[in-house]
Amino acid sequence: MTPDYAGLFFALRPESLLVLGALAALGLDLSVLRGRAAGQRLGCALAIGSLAVLLAGLLTWTGPRGPVFGGVLVLDTLALGTRLGVLGLTLLTLGIARGGKVPSQPAEYVAMMLFAAVGLLLMAAVQQLLLGFLALELASLSLYVLAGFDRTRPEAAEAALKYFLFGTMAAAFLLFGFSLVYGLTGSIELPQIAARLSGPVPSPMLLVAIAMILVAFGFKSAAAPFHLWAPDVYQGAPAPSAALIASASKLAGFALFSRLLWPGFGAAAGQARSFAGGPGWLPAVAAVAAASLLLGNLAALAQSNLRRLLAYSAIAHAGALLLGVMAAGQAGFAPLFYYAATYGLATVGAFGVIAALEREGRCEDIADLAGLHRRSPLLAGCLGVFILSLAGIPPLAGFFGKLAVFAAAFRMGGPAAWLAVLAIALSAVALYYYLIVLKEAWVAAPTAGARPVAVSRVTAFTLVVAAGLIVGFGLEPALLLGRF
């Protein structure tokens, strides 16, 4: 094959633009804005970053479709949706970063976010193991830095270190798994791997390889038992970093791994209906999903820290998303994508509220939300939309994500259907801890001396947009579901 560098460049214009944006933000900060107030530098860097993301979104929307560079990348519906989703969630993250605590090096902070977004964009479209690994690592390394960006807090250092150690371990597993796959099939291109696997039953070594890949997947999606980093990172990282880790990174991770699992290793999935017959990876994913659902929902009940509660709720949602991955072979990627994207919206929003509150005072425990309806009706209202969407209350988008995923799982039948029953039963448990959060925000009276919260206009706008999107996608789910 003759490498088509022009085509590659053309297809990767969004990525290039983000890198340029990051460099521009850094350069401007070093030259013109040197010595200015940190708030001003942050505003400038965010403006450049947002502009780059917006343009990248436009270029993604109007850009080419189909395979790129001989099939190393593919810009199909899943890739396109995920890339737009990643860009949208990054934009929202930049928006909430405006109203949060100002980091000591604002331009570097924004640049790291953009670099992470580049990695995530590539993850969404990649169809080759090697580039997939590189994209994942680019995103992960940027996210490690973002997690520990607030050097004044020891929790941030702990978060970053924990995230890094778990992440590199997972990356090692992933690389080992990939090398085994290469050894077995002689290729790193997903379509060729799929073609080799569709023949006679492959060696058991393939299952070992896939198991290793699943470890990395479990880490990326914060699924039990690979979730141990999540509560600490959610707690220690600056709120916008946590938002990016919890939303865009998750969306891209699910796109990458479900592309690996279904189009790549679909032949080794095992029997979907009964799990009988040949061994496959479906039972392993089912076990991880069940563990995540149970552990996430039950452990969340015991949390008093708001961020840790969101982390355990994220673990529970990872379980439901894995259910979507299992069902994707039969139902397509639409339910999974809808769930992951709208979950990302709600999570960014929730962290945005936390960020805005942190600027004014503390927002650690759920009790710190007390009287939010007095202190800032806007934040209380938006938080209500985000939390109720996470809880899966119609007509918000979170409900329809669950509905689509569970319906697909029921269609699959067998253990997947039972997992869906488990997930639905646990959603009643989940309502308890979500209502506890909202009780503080909406019902409880403010503590003595609590002052009204001033929300920056950009953040307020961002939160209203996120809430509006959740309501909009809820009232008209076909906007997303109908595109696949």
Task: Give me the residues that bind another protein (CB under 8 A), please.
Answer: 334, 373, 388, 393-395, 399-400, 403-404, 406-408, 410-411, 413, 417, 420-421, 424-425, 427-428, 431-432, 435, 438-439, 442-443, 477-478, 481-482
Nearer to another protein, 19 or 435 (CB): 435
Nearer to another protein, 60 or 427 (CB): 427
| Helical segments of 186-273, H only | 190-197, 204-221, 229-236, 239-246, 248-259
Residue 351 is encoded by which pair of tokens? 């962290």
Cβ at position 406, least distance to another protein in Å: 6
Cβ at position 267, least distance to another protein in Å: 25
Cβ at position 361, least distance to another protein in Å: 23
Cα distances (angstroms) measured from residue 250 to each of 320, 339, 410: 13, 11, 24
Cβ neighbours of residue 37 closer than 8 Å, sequence gap 6 or more: none
Cβ at position 232, least distance to another protein in Å: 29
Half-sphere exposure (Cβ direction) of 395: Cα atoms closer than 13 Å:
9
* Torsion angle in degrees (nearest 10) through CA of 158, 161, 167, 170: -100
Nearer to another protein, 91 or 438 (CB): 438
Cβ at position 338, least distance to another protein in Å: 10
Cβ at position 157, least distance to another protein in Å: 38
Nearer to another protein, 151 or 439 (CB): 439
Cβ at position 427, least distance to another protein in Å: 6
Closest CA to 181 of 214, 209, 213: 209
Nearer to another protein, 175 or 431 (CB): 431
Nearer to another protein, 93 or 389 (CB): 389
Nearer to another protein, 36 or 483 (CB): 483
Three-class DSSP category at 14: helix
Three-class DSSP category at 351: helix
Closest CA to 120 of 158, 146, 149: 146
Q: What is the CA radius of gyration of the chain?
A: 21
